[in-house]
Structure 1
Amino acid sequence: MLATLVPIPALAATFPEVGHDIDARLDPAARRLEVTDEITLTGDGTLEFRLSPRFARPSVEIDGAAIEIAGNPDGWRVPIQGTGEKRVTITYLGPLAPLDAGGGPFGGEEAGSSPMGSFLPGGAAWLPVIDAERVAYRLTVRVPAGFRAVATGTLIEETPEHTVYSAAPAFEEPSLFVGPWDMRERWAGNLRLRTYFEPDLAGLSDDYLQVAEDQIKRFSDLIGPYPFQGFSILSAPLPVGLGFAGLTYIGRQVLPLPFMRGQSLPHEILHNWWGNGVRVDYATGNWCEGLTTYMADYGLTAERDPEAAREMRFGWLRDYAALPEERDGSLVDFKARVHGAAKIIGYDKSAYLFLMLRDRLGDDAFDRGIRLFWERHRLRQAGWSDLRAAFEATSGQELGEFFHQWVARTGAPRLRLDEATTKRTRGGHALTVRIGQGSPTYRLDVPVVIETAGGKLRRTIALDGLETTATLDLDAEPVAIALDPDYRLFRHLAPGEAPPILRDVTLDPRTRLLLVGPHQDAARELAGRLMDAGATAGRPVAGTPLAIIGTTADVAEALAEHGLRDVPAALGGKGTARVWTASAEGGAPVLVVAADDRASLEALLRPLPHYGRQSYLVFQGREAVDRGVWPPGASPLRRTVTAE
């Protein structure tokens, strides 16, 4: 995930150019930061800067003379008099926030520290924030023995006592990372590749460095040259996966897991092109997470296993089916992932846009469009309209309606297969198909698969309006037809296509929460981690989702009391905790969590929220030893063909 920095409000005066020469001393264990920032600027007026309220009132000198400042941390004001270049020195110190290893997966808005390391994200006002047209930074960092410091920017000096980074020009405030790391390095041509891992993880370095080298080459061939001087992989004490220019910051708990190297690391590497190499115009929507998901997560999966790629597409649509209408949104409105609902739109729907665009344009025009977009906007800001312009240039197609319906609109089409009949002709068979969609309508090229005695045939039917009828000439007699069985369109799944999953309950703000048994504090904490939109405690309400969480025997009693089925036979008696979905009378989704004891409930706190796409799971302690999705029902988008 691209690290989205905290927005910086505009301050009083804008200076044409500001240079920072920063000396920072950081003690992670003591959570103490001491900074001297020598600022060079030209102009006069009032210099206003923002600084985190965690720091003591800063002292300020102008050209060596101490001056009094006015204001508060939201806006300290320094009078600048006279023309010519001025040197303003700002000195301050103070404690950083505690760095909570159990925190959320999206980083934080405060600079934090602990004995396990420090994370000071750009935009968190750990450095003076000054409004300027052009900004440059030189950052010298000093940390105690046993720690290493890494910052965004270009590494220009490294000694046992200090590390120096620079960024000129800088497009955002520096981010600083400190940890008790061993550093491993290799060169790939002119690129410096590094890992910064704790000693117990150092054995992973060679694999990570090889993946980094391979994926940088892969994406360079697809897009254009890698835009930075190197790439580093940093172990984080937080449960995060964040991408920055030239580095990624990944939770140490997940670094040993195979999916990190196979999918997550390529995703973070690709952010050096999309998000850091071409910056996002957030005012018009964040396009980079969807393009990165499509080219990295989906692209690698499709190369390795087409059936797994089909399952990924189905998973995206199944997640969207679980999203309540009031939590839906447009790609224009997506800025950053702050909860599960935002991911479904900003990552999954956005990735689908690029999938459908490739299907429409063809591989050659799509690939040339990607390279043209990079050439035009490298190290600049770009938005959805710039993507559209690049693809129009390489395809020769007008794409205004395509981008409008998928970027600006909220929602998705609902397909219908109304009729399918066939009759013999002199040359073979004529298959007449009537299909439709709900309102508001979309302009769609609907993939169809026709089953014949001689095998499967693939065709496309254009649908522009509420319904259309198409006649397809075939050599072999058709037996059955299905609309979009491979999930090539972003759409609402039809009834029967969408088996129940955990997210049917966890994403819905109407969910009622029933806690049973003696360990309700642990059950309540688990519910807080699971329920993305919150939940209301109390007895079930007809027609609304229900979550039941508690110990095994008490859950069984609650299920019987409310007329719900007991644990499925395939799960009964297995593991230390069982989780499954079901349907109440009337069809409302039900999520059940039954754990054998308090320890088994607490063991679910970290892993269970990551399994929202599953219908059922069995846990042995923290490990999911069995999981899956209930079989789907019959799809109304498949019909047997009838003869006229």
Structure 2
Amino acid sequence: MKSFKLLTFFLVFFLGGGLALCLSASATQPQIVHHDLEVQLFPAEGRLEAVDRLSLPDAPPSVRLFLSPQASITDIRLNERTLGHTFNNGIINVRLPAEFRGQPVTLEIYYEGRFTDTPPQDPIMTEDPSFGVAAAISPQGTFLAGGSGWYPDPRQGNAAWRLSVTAPPGYLAVSAGRLEEQVTTAEYSRSVWEESIPLSNLTVSAGPYEVKTVQVGDIPVSTYFYPQTQELAPTYLDAAREYLELYEDLFGPYPFAKFAVVENFFPTGYGFPSWTLLGSTVIRLPFIVETSLGHEIAHSWWGTGVRVDHAQGNWSEGLTTYVADYLFLERRSAEGARDYRLRILRDYASLVTPERDFPLTRFLRRTDRPTQAMGYGKAAMVFHMLRHKVGEEIFWAGLREMAETRMFDQVSWDDFAALYSRLSSTDLQAFFDQWVRRPGAPILSLENVEVEHRDEQWYISGHLLQKTRPFDLRLPLIVETDGEPLVRWISLKERENHFELRTADTPRRLLVDPDAHAFRRLHPKEIPPSVNSIRGSENLIAVVAADLPPATADAARLILRALRQEGIRVVDEKQIRPEQLGTHDVLFLGLPRRFANALLADTGLSFDEQGFTFGEERFESPQAALFAAVTPKDFPDRNWAYFIPASPEAARDAARRIPHYGRDSYLVFDQGENRVRGTWEVRESPLIQNFNSSETIQ
């Protein structure tokens, strides 16, 4: 199964081409607050009426509650006694009678609210996975996010929950926990959920759902889809069963009472304890079942199950990426796993400049593509390197033990270091310190490589240099020969590390870690130009081709917003001199004839007045658009890209899609579909030494 790319498609992390993950706060406490919420939804009016019976284990002199300013208080009672209160700027203050102080009490808070956040009708690329929607009630659907203030919140840590939602007939609600009741009649529908596992907040979704359920052992797995999406329910249920069985085998019992896949009326990719919320446009994408779903179910163990101690950074996105996105590819093929590791390294090098780098202890959530490259990508590589260091058996046994002993507890990077140090009988604190607490990554190169043939043996020697403060590394050196390749693992701890190798077969190439098992910063020659190269550029300018029609040029500018480069300088082709381009990365809008050679050379592209040809495929439709990132020969340290749409409509459609193909070098869209995509081949690296010349091999 493939990786979770939902967040790289619509949201950001989201997903964690991820996911926007709602984490619960801390370990189970002896005495916790309990919410008993009874809610009535009026979708046509965008409002709710509710009572929250809020049980406090130890009544203070006064209670401070947080409730959205979009709500109004009807009454607050204690033992049928109305209490005075104030409600200003979202804060309720209630003073409790002296005789109740220090005792368990249940406040009844009656309120109503109108929640009408409007999802965007025409979303471009955004780093906000909510699209600005925190609380919305409508006939199409309801989304009330935990933390949005849709219920009175004392913010006293985790709480237990009972939620009863009454709505029009057929309008069902989903939330965390176990389903206690779900009925629909000619007059109303009612959904009742109960969650005894303490959670820091509660989110609810509701809509005109049809429900399908299968049992996976003792766990009910359900889809809450709109009627027009019902044909997809069996596919999602079958896939969810496979993922649950896989992860129970790897990590132990599923920790929640159910799992539900819920459809949303705007394009979210959210993960909550025991359910996921996917937008209607997302849920129909053919790859989501093989990508998003497995990632989300893995979060049930890592993030919503075993929870994050945010004081040391958020490890859960990296671990979930590793045991979902990466592991699915690894189980398919070694080549797919290698490609994924290389993509992580390329994202890091393209998006995270040394000035923007930071230690993983500072990663809390994805806010943009560079933070995703760190908290999802680099963190996943930390777990990969840990797996190599301690071995298969210890690595997976450690995850099973962590899930068994720390479920619903807060866990830190230090906890992982202590666990694996004990299991491996090795002090791993230095390993975690260098990869988690230290920013940056090693920059490596081969130097002074020599090869000598004597006594029927080939002797290869040289140095591996680290160009920054040294990391403690263990890397494979591979000598490709006329026979079997020679593989040797060497340790690097200094800036300059000498090595010597010997083989009986004629050497052809020396490669250092060609399968990308170690995290490092790639050399620019190792990074094919890509969408991310342009997105991550800090000195980009845009050049509008002279013959691009004005309406198409105006529509093409949308790509600047989609790539979050809307503030850059935009100039016309006639206003720019060739030498000026050598100091910038450049995004060309249209094909500027004066600067076409860089695009056409060695790319398989050709243009004429009717359209363009890529390889052997011809595109002449007014709906066609091309994006191609290249390295110009005259300026090898620069990244250029060409966005060439055939019409305003093609420009608007492609501009929205291009950011979701961040690792690709070239893309062709036609009739609203991606028709061609790929990455240019890398031919040079400072970690590759060729021995093919007669000057090298004597």
Structure 1 equivalent of residue 241 of structure 2: 213
SS across alignment from 1:196: strand
- Backbone CA RMSD of aligned residues: 2.5
Structure 2 equivalent of residue 132 of structure 1: 156
State the one-letter code of the partner of 1:444: L
**Cα gap change, 1:354 to 1:502, in 2 (>3 Å):** same
State the one-letter code of the partner of 2:171: F
Greater RCO, CA 8 A, separation 6+: 2
State the one-letter code of the partner of 1:240: T
Match of 1:198 among 219, 226, 230: 226
Structure 1 equivalent of residue 407 of structure 2: 378
> Residue by residue, what CA displacement relative to the aligned partner does 1:523-577 show, whole Å, maximum 9, x if unpaired?
343321222x65323337652322233xxxxx234x5279965696526422511
Contact persistence 2:434–2:471 (CA under 8 A): yes
Structure 2 equivalent of residue 121 of structure 1: 145
State the one-letter code of the partner of 2:145: P
Match of 2:664 among 614, 633, 636: 614
* Inter-partner Cα distance in structure 2 for 1:87 and 1:353: 47
SS across alignment from 2:325: helix
* Inter-partner Cα distance in structure 2 for 1:534 and 1:405: 36
State the one-letter code of the partner of 1:61: R
Contact persistence 2:310–2:364 (CA under 8 A): yes
SS across alignment from 1:89: strand
Aligned 1:63-462 pairs, distance under 5 A: 63-81=79-97, 82-83=99-100, 84-96=103-115, 97-100=117-120, 102=122, 104=126, 106-107=129-130, 108=132, 110-132=134-156, 135-160=159-184, 161-323=189-351, 324-423=353-452, 428-462=457-491
Cα offset for 1:30? 2.9
SS across alignment from 2:134: coil
* Inter-partner Cα distance in structure 2 for 1:256 and 1:51: 35
* Inter-partner Cα distance in structure 1 for 2:20 and 2:242: 23
TM normalised by structure 1 equals 0.92
State the one-letter code of the partner of 2:96: I
Structure 2 equivalent of residue 11 of structure 1: none
State the one-letter code of the partner of 2:517: R
* Inter-partner Cα distance in structure 1 for 2:211 and 2:294: 21
Q: Which moved more, 1:488-497 or 1:222-231?
A: 488-497
SS across alignment from 1:351: helix
Structure 1 equivalent of residue 68 of structure 2: 52
Contact persistence 2:480–2:507 (CA under 8 A): yes
Cα offset for 1:427? 8.5
> Residue by residue, what CA displacement relative to the aligned partner does 1:407-442 show, whole Å, maximum 9, x if unpaired?
112211111111333445668444323211111221
Cα offset for 1:350? 0.8
Contact persistence 2:49–2:111 (CA under 8 A): yes
Structure 2 equivalent of residue 537 of structure 1: 569
Cα offset for 1:174? 1.2
Contact persistence 1:571–1:578 (CA under 8 A): no
Cα offset for 1:219? 0.7
State the one-letter code of the partner of 1:63: N
SS across alignment from 1:604: helix
Cα offset for 1:321? 1.8
State the one-letter code of the partner of 1:560: R
* Inter-partner Cα distance in structure 1 for 2:90 and 2:469: 46
State the one-letter code of the partner of 2:250: L
Structure 1 equivalent of residue 558 of structure 2: 525
1:577 maps onto 2:625 in alignment: yes
Structure 2 equivalent of residue 481 of structure 1: 510
* Inter-partner Cα distance in structure 2 for 1:384 and 1:173: 24
Structure 2 equivalent of residue 62 of structure 1: 78
Unaligned 5+ segments in structure 2 are: 1-17, 613-618
Cα offset for 1:165? 1.0
1:556 maps onto 2:585 in alignment: no
* Inter-partner Cα distance in structure 2 for 1:348 and 1:594: 31
> Residue by residue, what CA displacement relative to the aligned partner does 1:96-118 show, whole Å, maximum 9, x if unpaired?
12233655562256212333212
SS across alignment from 2:347: helix
SS across alignment from 2:94: strand
Contact persistence 1:116–1:179 (CA under 8 A): yes
* Inter-partner Cα distance in structure 1 for 2:537 and 2:110: 49
**Cα gap change, 1:69 to 1:523, in 2 (>3 Å):** farther
State the one-letter code of the partner of 2:181: E
* Inter-partner Cα distance in structure 1 for 2:417 and 2:89: 42
Structure 1 equivalent of residue 14 of structure 2: none
Contact persistence 1:370–1:391 (CA under 8 A): no
* Inter-partner Cα distance in structure 2 for 1:256 and 1:134: 35
* Inter-partner Cα distance in structure 1 for 2:594 and 2:248: 59
* Inter-partner Cα distance in structure 2 for 1:312 and 1:85: 54
Structure 2 equivalent of residue 25 of structure 1: 40
Cα offset for 1:279? 0.8
* Inter-partner Cα distance in structure 1 for 2:339 and 2:104: 61
* Inter-partner Cα distance in structure 1 for 2:30 and 2:246: 41
SS across alignment from 2:511: strand
TM normalised by structure 2 equals 0.85
Contact persistence 2:73–2:109 (CA under 8 A): no
Unaligned 5+ segments in structure 1 are: 9-13, 550-554
* Inter-partner Cα distance in structure 1 for 2:253 and 2:455: 57
**Cα gap change, 1:72 to 1:562, in 2 (>3 Å):** farther
SS across alignment from 1:98: coil
* Inter-partner Cα distance in structure 1 for 2:95 and 2:256: 38
> Residue by residue, what CA displacement relative to the aligned partner does 1:54-103 show, whole Å, maximum 9, x if unpaired?
21345322322223312413421100122333332212222212233655
* Inter-partner Cα distance in structure 1 for 2:428 and 2:168: 56
Q: Which moved more, 1:266-275 or 1:200-209?
A: 200-209
State the one-letter code of the partner of 1:347: Y
Contact persistence 1:153–1:174 (CA under 8 A): no
SS across alignment from 2:395: helix
Contact persistence 2:531–2:658 (CA under 8 A): no
How many residues are aligned here? 632
* Inter-partner Cα distance in structure 2 for 1:5 and 1:72: 27
SS across alignment from 1:242: strand
**Cα gap change, 1:497 to 1:85, in 2 (>3 Å):** closer
Paired-residue identity, %: 31
SS across alignment from 1:335: coil
